Structure 1
Amino acid sequence: MNYLKRLLAINSKKEIPTSTSPDKAKKIDLAKLSVLELKSELLHSFGHTADLQVDEAKVGKSNVMIVYLESVVNTDFLKEMLGKTLESPVENEVKITTVDDLKELSKRSFGVSGYEIIKTLDDIVSGILDGRVIIVFEGIPAALSLSYINSEGRTVAEPTTQTVVRGPKDAFVEDASVNLNLIRKRIKNHNLHFEKFMIGNESRTTVYMGYMNAIVNDKILAEVRKRLKSINIAAIFESSNIEEMIIDKTATVFPLAMNTERPDSVASNLMDGKIVIITDGTPFVLLVPVVLTDFFTSAEDYYQNYVMSSFVRLIRYISFMIGLLMPSAYVGVLTFHPELLPTTLLLSIIAQREGVPFPAVVEVFIMEITFEILREAGVRMPRAVGQTVSIVGALVIGQAAAEAGIISNIMVIIVAITAIANFVFPNYSFANASRLIRFILIIVASILGLYGVLLVLVFMVAHLSSLRSFGVPYLAPVAPFVVEDQKDVFIRFPLWSINKRPSYLSTNETKKQKKTDSPSPPQPEGGK
């Protein structure tokens, strides 16, 4: 113990190395550096990395240095466009001696390339990391930054986790600019605003925050912006990293932000007054704030008849209760409350369990953990065999275990129904929360029976009531109950009748559309 204390004391005295990220680089003016000194600084900053290209060229009578990372720049397009510009007869006669001359050259030759005039070493390093081409003119205290970013990546395809039978088939990709375009295609409105953030001290990941300026609640918008700006982390690689850094600091298994890869779902939520967070490098986009009922809603609910949509949505709520309670109810009833079962069913279950050597709770745990292993194996294995392993493995293992007398047949049925019910949820992260709570309910049911199950449910509802997503109650609009918001909660009313946005968002513009009546068939001539 004393050795451990001394070791911890020694480690606590060690100095933490200073970050070499561009955010902490010195703001050195280019006026203080010659071209050779700048080249040396850049090579030192990037550690002589193999993909850093430092080329020398001549524009008119001026010597220039061209710097870029060939791994993130479209080199073919760069050579074609830049070569034509620098070798044109007009530019060969130009002499660049001042910053004004550089601006004139930029307007004339690079007006369509998204050029910028930068004046510090920090801006040059940041531009190179962002995939821009930097042109430094000798004797001028400024540099030219051009955008020739390599936009190669995965093309837009169908969603992989949120599929629909009827509705748009495109999904977000890893390129944030493409994702912005997919949203703009659906909302052609000047009130759709996006704010850009660079998050991650080392990774400098591009993150966009989008919202409808005339609709969104200003206080919620300010809170989201504040939390994004306050993120202090080394690297961001996925939107889940952003989610963990901005959600309310509450220990909970329930997601307080919703992720989706469907542009139509994002557009619909933006029109309701919610805020979208797009992270470069991932196809999963965050939506905030969210409430519990959002996770029972699918994009397809609005693409089919409202009666059928309401029926399917009720099925999701029933599936949630089945997936949450069925194994624990089996353990509780069989162990403590067998009188609740009909006599015939009870005798049938007892007969099936006659040769099973384990109590009900152990039997449930064996099957539940086995199924979780098969589920993870199906996800991690190659796509060609993953589905086969998960389905065939479950059937073979379940049948073999029942024939061997390790588990009963009724247990196989219960676990199968529970697993299928758990797959009904449109959102995968919410399904994970119910999986974890199910194990807690099983343990409590084996100790206290159905009373323990009811007690856990009471604590769960109390916990849900205490949750907030950026200040919005997690159980809204059910608790607190808002009558006018019930048109799109457990069932969906016709679209023409939903003329107000959710009141719990307190949007600047509460009306979603003008109040209209149900379309009616035309009256016959002369009829009343």
Structure 2
Amino acid sequence: MSIFSYLFKRRKNKHRGKTTDEELFLNEDIPNHYSSLLDKNLKSLENVFHQTSDLQKMKIHIGGQNGCICYLNTTLNKNDLNAQILEPLKDAFKDVETNLDIEKIRKAYFPAVAYEYADSLHQIVWQMLNGSAVIMINNSKKALALNIGGTEKRSIVEPSTQTIIRGPKDSFIEDIDVNIGLVRKRIKNPRLVFEEYIVGKDSHTRLSIGYMKGVVNEDILSEARQRIKKIKTSAVLDTGNIEEMITDTSFTCFPLIFNTERPDSISGHILEGKIAVFLDGTPFALSMPSVFTDFFQSTEDYYQPFFLTSFIRILRFMAFMITLILPSLYVGIITYHQELIPNALLINIQAQRESVPFPAVVELLLMEFTFEVLREAGTRMPRAVGQTLSIVGALVIGQAAVEAGLVSNVLVIVVAFSAIASFVSPIFNFSVAARLIRFLLIIAAAIMGFYGILLSLILMVIHLVSLRTFGVPYLTPVAPFKLIDQKDIFVRFPIWTNTTRPSYLKSKAPLKVKNHSKPVTPDKKEENNQNE
């Protein structure tokens, strides 16, 4: 048995099958009896919430019956509570009608408020956890849950991780309903479908998947549903948790699922036939399946002229290769292949390295590690000082290291240029993959020179070819090569030529538009009409 099989083997839990009273009580498949006695229900709620400080109970009297409004004051807006519930109930205390049931109360006092009836204690608890206020009346067989709106939300602002020059400036926030609304705003189509799930045994977090009915591949959709339903964990706090649980394999540094906080990016992916995943409490949404080339593309590419976009696309691929192999090329040339450097440059480099006490590989790893520490420190520091620390720290440490004779000037240029090239990628977690593989290539170059670099790149390509994302080859449409999809991979053809969806998705509607021709000027249009 390999070490990986031993470490990650699923072992039988001796406590599995044993369920506590709280878990059994909150299980959606097991209904809980709702008593017609108000005091009994209130006591049950206190036991369920364990006398938490934010549980509020307000006694009321309607139609000759005692009642109570129960809610968690940390999950709803108190101003809305006063305006939509407490104000209308002021007149209820004067109501002397004795035949008022819960339905008549709703029609009389809350006709415009979103509501649901709850006939089990579990439903009441669930509604309160979701920000509703629950009205219970003595001798009533069900309760009234009023959804008056949640707590304060963060305003919609410009994306912080994926900046844009030309295009929409809005981004997702931590509220799932707002995020779905931002997508609905862009895709006004009844075929846009959202399915809701609850994930996390303890957190009970809302999750939604969105897709275009009649466009999405039903096999991929079915696979996505099955993987989401199989999620078994105590809590889900971010889409990163979902990504790790539904991805085809975790033993790779390349991201297999696309993540973004931009609504226009998710909307574009849904229109192509992909599936989007939204999670309550996080501003990042997922898109799947995602292939290797998706991480070199940005929605801004479709807002700029196609000549400029094509140039930037090629630049991104070149920057990825520079980040990946430039440091290892330096080690290989300095250690084994000095004959590749012109004599004048070689003499200059060796003169600079004359006072350096370390081999090239040690020198490079020292600077790479220092730069990674500075980059991480700049990311975690407060914004006011983070940028200053990254720039000034790199300049000061680099200059001091050169003057102290620890590294050469050429090495500082190599490390700085490869680090800057890593920022060209529009998706952050994809650039991280290049940074990690770079260290492996440096070690391979120190051992075998260019042969080590070439062997490592071959192994990396073999690994990429073996990857799958929801059954789709990760390197498609490059390997396997699909000619029809090349109009929007390394270069972007004009938008009016993009009439088909990606063939690797096997969409039910592969054709976007019919009879889409090149735009013509009014003079030529008149001339064509006359000729016809």
With structure 1 as the length reference, what TM-score do the two structures score?
Answer: 0.93
- CA deviation after TM superposition for structure 1 residue 204, in Å: 1.0
2:61–2:93: 8 Å Cα contact kept in structure 1? no
SS in 2 for 1:30: coil
- 2:444 aligns to what? 444
Matching residue's letter, 2:62 = V
2:311–2:491: 8 Å Cα contact kept in structure 1? yes
Decide which of 69, 74, 82 is 1:71's aligned counterpart.
74
- CA deviation after TM superposition for structure 1 residue 94, in Å: 4.2
Q: Does 1:266 align with 2:270?
A: no
- 2:43 aligns to what? 40
Decide which of 12, 15, 30 is 2:34's aligned counterpart.
30
SS in 1 for 2:71: strand
* Alpha-carbon distance between aligned partners in 2 of 1:79 and 1:181, rounded to the nearest angstrom: 27
- CA deviation after TM superposition for structure 1 residue 248, in Å: 1.1
Q: Deviations over 1:65-104 (max 9, x none)?
A: 211000111122212221233334698254456xxx4234
- 2:3 aligns to what? none
- 1:404 aligns to what? 404
- 1:9 aligns to what? none
SS in 1 for 2:57: strand
Change in CA separation of 1:354 and 1:208 when aligned onto 2, cut-off 3 Å? same
* Alpha-carbon distance between aligned partners in 2 of 1:20 and 1:89, rounded to the nearest angstrom: 36
Q: Deviations over 1:172-211 (max 9, x none)?
A: 1111111111111111111111111111111111111111
Matching residue's letter, 2:283 = P
Change in CA separation of 1:93 and 1:484 when aligned onto 2, cut-off 3 Å? farther
1:62–1:96: 8 Å Cα contact kept in structure 2? no
Q: Which runs of 5+ in 1 are unaligned?
A: 1-11
Matching residue's letter, 2:33 = D
1:497–1:515: 8 Å Cα contact kept in structure 2? no
Q: Does 1:153 align with 2:153?
A: yes
- CA deviation after TM superposition for structure 1 residue 107, in Å: 4.0
- 2:206 aligns to what? 206
* Alpha-carbon distance between aligned partners in 2 of 1:107 and 1:192, rounded to the nearest angstrom: 33
1:174–1:281: 8 Å Cα contact kept in structure 2? yes
SS in 1 for 2:168: coil
Q: Deviations over 1:412-437 (max 9, x none)?
A: 00001101100000000101111110
* Alpha-carbon distance between aligned partners in 2 of 1:474 and 1:14, rounded to the nearest angstrom: 39
- Structure 1 residues 67-466: aligned runs within 5 Å: 67-88=70-91, 92-96=95-99, 101-466=101-466
1:196–1:207: 8 Å Cα contact kept in structure 2? yes
Q: Does 1:55 align with 2:58?
A: yes
Bigger drift between 51-60 and 362-371 goes to 51-60
- 1:482 aligns to what? 482
Q: Which runs of 5+ in 2 are unaligned?
A: 1-12
SS in 1 for 2:276: strand
* Alpha-carbon distance between aligned partners in 2 of 1:35 and 1:43, rounded to the nearest angstrom: 12
1:375–1:390: 8 Å Cα contact kept in structure 2? yes
- CA deviation after TM superposition for structure 1 residue 471, in Å: 1.0
- CA deviation after TM superposition for structure 1 residue 350, in Å: 1.1
* Alpha-carbon distance between aligned partners in 1 of 2:218 and 2:55, rounded to the nearest angstrom: 43
* Alpha-carbon distance between aligned partners in 2 of 1:486 and 1:130, rounded to the nearest angstrom: 47
- CA deviation after TM superposition for structure 1 residue 19, in Å: 7.6
Change in CA separation of 1:405 and 1:471 when aligned onto 2, cut-off 3 Å? same
2:198–2:206: 8 Å Cα contact kept in structure 1? yes
Bigger drift between 371-380 and 78-87 goes to 78-87
Q: Deviations over 1:101-135 (max 9, x none)?
A: 42343345334322111111111111111111111
Matching residue's letter, 2:368 = E
* Alpha-carbon distance between aligned partners in 1 of 2:33 and 2:19, rounded to the nearest angstrom: 26
Q: Deviations over 1:268-293 (max 9, x none)?
A: 11100111111111111111110000
* Alpha-carbon distance between aligned partners in 2 of 1:218 and 1:373, rounded to the nearest angstrom: 45
Q: Deviations over 1:200-236 (max 9, x none)?
A: 1111111111111121111111111111111111111
Change in CA separation of 1:96 and 1:133 when aligned onto 2, cut-off 3 Å? farther
Change in CA separation of 1:88 and 1:175 when aligned onto 2, cut-off 3 Å? same
Change in CA separation of 1:139 and 1:283 when aligned onto 2, cut-off 3 Å? same
Q: Does 1:498 align with 2:501?
A: no
* Alpha-carbon distance between aligned partners in 2 of 1:475 and 1:83, rounded to the nearest angstrom: 59
- 1:20 aligns to what? 22
* Alpha-carbon distance between aligned partners in 1 of 2:493 and 2:446, rounded to the nearest angstrom: 42
1:496–1:515: 8 Å Cα contact kept in structure 2? no
Change in CA separation of 1:377 and 1:96 when aligned onto 2, cut-off 3 Å? farther
Q: Deviations over 1:295-331 (max 9, x none)?
A: 0001110011001000000000000000000001111
* Alpha-carbon distance between aligned partners in 1 of 2:413 and 2:133, rounded to the nearest angstrom: 62
1:322–1:418: 8 Å Cα contact kept in structure 2? yes
* Alpha-carbon distance between aligned partners in 1 of 2:251 and 2:139, rounded to the nearest angstrom: 58
* Alpha-carbon distance between aligned partners in 2 of 1:502 and 1:406, rounded to the nearest angstrom: 51
- 2:5 aligns to what? none
* Alpha-carbon distance between aligned partners in 2 of 1:94 and 1:502, rounded to the nearest angstrom: 65
SS in 2 for 1:49: coil
Change in CA separation of 1:335 and 1:149 when aligned onto 2, cut-off 3 Å? same
Seq. identity, %: 48
Change in CA separation of 1:14 and 1:88 when aligned onto 2, cut-off 3 Å? closer
SS in 2 for 1:63: strand
Matching residue's letter, 1:462 = I
Matching residue's letter, 1:429 = N
- CA deviation after TM superposition for structure 1 residue 150, in Å: 2.4
SS in 2 for 1:167: coil
* Alpha-carbon distance between aligned partners in 1 of 2:498 and 2:266, rounded to the nearest angstrom: 18
1:28–1:121: 8 Å Cα contact kept in structure 2? yes
Change in CA separation of 1:387 and 1:17 when aligned onto 2, cut-off 3 Å? farther
- 2:6 aligns to what? none
- 1:8 aligns to what? none
SS in 2 for 1:115: strand
Matching residue's letter, 1:244 = E
Matching residue's letter, 1:20 = E
Change in CA separation of 1:466 and 1:228 when aligned onto 2, cut-off 3 Å? same
2:62–2:93: 8 Å Cα contact kept in structure 1? no
* Alpha-carbon distance between aligned partners in 1 of 2:286 and 2:15, rounded to the nearest angstrom: 38
- CA deviation after TM superposition for structure 1 residue 520, in Å: 2.3
2:186–2:267: 8 Å Cα contact kept in structure 1? yes
* Alpha-carbon distance between aligned partners in 1 of 2:335 and 2:133, rounded to the nearest angstrom: 71
Change in CA separation of 1:133 and 1:440 when aligned onto 2, cut-off 3 Å? same
- CA deviation after TM superposition for structure 1 residue 477, in Å: 0.7
